[in-house]
Amino acid sequence: MAEWTYVGGTQIVQPGDAIIFNQVITPCDYDLILHRLDSGDFFAKGINLKPERRTCCCKRPKAVNYNVHFGANVAIPEGGTVAPIQVAIAVAGSTLGDSVMTSTPTAAADFNNIARYTSVPIWKGCCQSVSVRNIGTTPIEVSEPVFNMNQ
């Protein structure tokens, strides 16, 4: 399983922005997941590594499923207004509804852990972006994020 993290303290993520990852823990062996360090976008190729039965093209699956896991510690930055923190996995900029993670801290700088595991469909033959975004209305502080992805 390919895995990335952010090293170097915490990061402030504005509403609508992606969480940044700057270190590869385990690279993708087959170059199916591309990531530029210090960015929040991952590009997954819609190529299936698993053998499939060759039949009429209309009966083949239209997407390749990737297993995605994200976890991090999140808080409202010091001095900020306490509000629910909402983070979600997005594909091509669209939030996956089943991936929304919500945490409501009791005070600013009060870290809580969030995590989600979900299946992400990537259209066959395409390369689509996958990211983890702050979908809330307030800036958040993120510490020790980890992003895993594989087929």
DSSP codes joined into one string, 46-96: ----S------GGGS-SEEEEEEEEEEEEEPPTTPPP--EEEEEEETTEEP
The confidence score (pLDDT) of residue 84 equals: 96
Radius of gyration of the chain (CA): 17
* pLDDT tens-digit series, residues 47-76: 877 655 544 455 556 889 999 999 999 999
The confidence score (pLDDT) of residue 61 equals: 66
Q: How far apart are CA 107 and CA 49, in angstroms?
A: 46
Q: Are 101 and 84 in contact (CB under 8 A)?
A: no
The confidence score (pLDDT) of residue 76 equals: 97
The confidence score (pLDDT) of residue 55 equals: 47
Q: Are 53 and 104 in contact (CB under 8 A)?
A: no
The confidence score (pLDDT) of residue 12 equals: 98
Q: Are 28 and 37 in contact (CB under 8 A)?
A: no
For the chain, which residues score pLDDT lower than 50?
A: 54-56
Kindly list the structural domains of the chain, giving each domain's residue range(s) and its CATH number in brackets, ordered by start. Answer: 2-150 (2.60.120.40)
Residue type, 12: I
Q: Are 150 and 67 in contact (CB under 8 A)?
A: yes
The confidence score (pLDDT) of residue 132 equals: 98
- Residues 64, 87, 37, CA angle at the centre, nearest 5°? 65
Q: How many CA atoms lie within 13 A of 50 on its CB side?
A: 11
The confidence score (pLDDT) of residue 48 equals: 79
The number of beta carbons lying within 10 Å of the beta carbon of residue 81 is 9
Q: Are 145 and 13 in contact (CB under 8 A)?
A: no
